[in-house]
Amino acid sequence: MAVFKGAGVAIVTPMYDDGKVNYDKLGELLEEQIAGGTDAIIICGTTGESATLSIEEHLETIHYAIDKVAKRIPVIAGTGSNCTETAIHLSQEAEAFGADALLLVTPYYNKATQSGLKAHYTMIAESVHLPMIMYNVPSRTGCNILPETAAYLAKNVKNVVAIKEASGSISQVAKLMSLADGAIDLYSGNDDQIVPIMALGGCGVISVLSNVAPRQTHDIVASFLDGDVAKSRALQLKAIELIDALFCEVNPIPVKTALNLMGKEVGPLRGPLFGMEPANVERLKKAMQNYGIL
């Protein structure tokens, strides 16, 4: 059984002007997401600026989200790291807090061989009992989980159950789903590829777009799952201009900017991420206006 079906939000981490995590605002965002039809919360993913949170902040933010959501929808904790021991520690703590599943990005910068990836994910899986979603985003990490590796892990490691695929390669995804032969659940990691990945057997998306358009993103997936592919495709295409604007600079710079433009007051980014270029802010505003959320 899939961890979730539908649209999960890779939620931002709101911050005060001094850079501290704003838990009151996070609580507001979580309630808005649930009310907006979001099917799962992904807390402390890369959109949540996990790379610049301290270990203590990372764990406190996960704990807060789990308690706030209170099992109304699944909470998936981002516990990936380029250090296997750190990923194990974060994963074990998230399990103790009551997370429903884990999202584990591939090791970044130091990367890993395919054998190393097998060992990395296996060691983490053996340290916990929660279902694990691997996160493949080579454009950010420099490390690509090849289809053969993902299929091997899904078939041989009990709690490696899914993959968030953001390689951008539909051909790679197709090969993975062929090799896995039903052993892995598939989530789109790219908002502009929800429908193509659903067509290859995906059961949803882990989404940046959902931060600003939760109901619309949910509906893209729900329409496909209901068999109305034409409606799903139309909703996907309608969102393309906004999706492109949300990724015209490094994520989560544009999505935090968008939320602030919407009056959500999610605060600043942590360095080395800083404010958007003025021309890109105007591009984002125009896309949001055209989409009807500003």
As annotated, the active-site residues are 135, 164
Distance CA 100, CA 94 (A): 9
Tell me the residue type at 159.
N
DSSP calls for 75-112 = EEEE---SSHHHHHHHHHHHHHHT-SEEEEEPP-SS--
Ranges assigned E (strand) in 167-226: 185-188, 204-207
Radius of gyration for the chain, computed over Cα atoms and rounded to the nearest angstrom: 18
Q: Taking a C-beta distance cutoff of 8 angstroms, is the pair 111, 141 a contact?
A: yes
Tell me, what amino acid is at 87?
A
Amino acid (1-letter code) at residue 251: N
Largest pairwise CA distance in the chain = 49
